[in-house]
Structure 1
């Protein structure tokens, strides 16, 4: 049994990893800036320990990591900025190295090591480079596009109106993965440290075109969903970073060896996009929230 510290434990990737590790019989220490939040309460309810940790407070990181065997490290620029993600990611790695953890599993992004020019891929790669020099056994897992993103934001807004609004052509394929599969793969990596130490692995569960995604969503939701290509210029008015990402998806693409991953690691239980979509509660998701009084 391992004791594994999990950052982002109240978020999608960290939460899925925490649940997979708990299911495998390990001890999970969820690190969060808000240990009294409802999400932290949910984490406690499933058996995790929850500790306060702030990436900008080294003492809190040292305390939260003390006695842990390994670390699942997730960083994000969303809600902050690229420079903050890099600074905080390096601080987390340094704290883990100082406590001499046995293994750091850093989650990055597929192709972040290929000079994509996508800002939040480039920042993740800077953290990747730092973890390689920390003097601690490391593994980088690099997920493709998140299936879970279709259950929120402007994607969900479009689905409510019967359209799959997406900034890619209908016939362009994209490799995809749900948070649950990221968590299951991360748990496997922790349990087989010797096999995975020193490796960087792009991971994805399925590859679908935008048109196929729309068809799978229509089947899962139970009503027609039409693909609608959103111009990159429109995305750019909201986020230059995301526009750069979708431009990369369209022009270069995320080639991840889905077939090889399914063959080599069947215990992950990889989800197809259709299976994932069928497992969502679309009735609840598509019901608009009541207006605030």
Structure 2
């Protein structure tokens, strides 16, 4: 029996991964452990027979208990982005505990090209990948491209005003759905064969801002003009809208990374892992039309 642990199981990605383990890959619930800072938030998974454990990345003792008896652990990157360096510290602690606990396979959710990325949190991913490899544990790195889901936060407001301010320039990005990333990660866990490999999960096409806007406009029936600005001006605009400074800086840096070409890659890794084609951006936005029009 391969005992699987998924950290961050209360988050959107964690929930979707466990759904695919249970429903797509038919992994017995008794083989799955869902972990979160507050396991009481995971009652719906517990009702399906999934074991629940507390795992606080700032508390080594809770990690010790969570990782005990685990064969394969998936470390989903945490949401500790407000304090520079905190997330990398958390991830390194989890990797160290996994090694100490005798875990046989460690998987980690990363991002494309973290070694040259301009995104503010890229050093967290690069540092974690390095820690995973240095641990000596058999590993799988799963680098997830930029989510199509990310557009569902700001795009309803953009559609209301008919303008999308972006610092993507002429850069392209191979957006992918969060659910496809979850299915790919679940495939890695269900396979249970560590290969010391890195997979990059992307959508099937790389698109620029004008192409993305046209797809969104077609899906919603509403006009959307692209207004290209500098990363600095975009950051000021986001801060002016009331979002925290670190969020504004992160979003502007992601656009700058697209403009630099660092998100412009399409791989077949999703199909390699799942045997299916990843969802197109057109299909994603058709499904999420109501969310786009929710403003």
State whether TM-score is above 0.5. yes
- Aligned equivalent of 1:291: none
- The alignment yields a C-alpha RMSD, in angstroms, of 2.4
Q: Structure 1 residue aligned with 2:70, among 68, 91, 94?
A: 68
Change (3 A) 1:190 1:268: farther
1:284 Cα deviation from its structure 2 partner: 4.9
Q: Structure 2 residue aligned with 1:246, among 255, 271, 274?
A: 255
1:45 Cα deviation from its structure 2 partner: 5.2
What secondary structure, in the 3-state scheme, does the structure 1 residue paired with 2:121 have?
helix
* Structure 1: stretches of 5+ with no match in the other structure: 289-293
- Aligned equivalent of 2:203: 205
- Aligned equivalent of 2:239: none
The count of corresponding residues between Structure 1 and Structure 2 is 280
- TM-score norm. by structure 2 comes to 0.85
Whether contact under 8 Å (2:188, 2:273) holds in the other structure is: no
Change (3 A) 1:235 1:101: same
- Aligned equivalent of 1:270: 278
What secondary structure, in the 3-state scheme, does the structure 2 residue paired with 1:139 have?
strand
Change (3 A) 1:251 1:49: same
Q: Structure 2 residue aligned with 1:261, among 269, 281, 284?
A: 269
* Structure 2: stretches of 5+ with no match in the other structure: 237-244
Change (3 A) 1:48 1:228: farther
More displaced stretch, 11-20 vs 71-80? 71-80
- TM-score norm. by structure 1 comes to 0.85
Q: How does 1:156-195 map to 2 (within 5 A)?
A: 156-169=156-169, 171-194=170-193
Change (3 A) 1:67 1:82: same
- Aligned equivalent of 1:287: 294
Change (3 A) 1:286 1:263: closer
- Aligned equivalent of 2:224: 225
In 2, the alpha carbon distance for the partners of 1:284 and 1:255 equals 26
1:229 Cα deviation from its structure 2 partner: 2.6
Query: Which structure features the higher share of strand residues?
Result: 1
- Aligned equivalent of 2:20: 20
- Aligned equivalent of 2:4: 4
1:108 Cα deviation from its structure 2 partner: 0.7
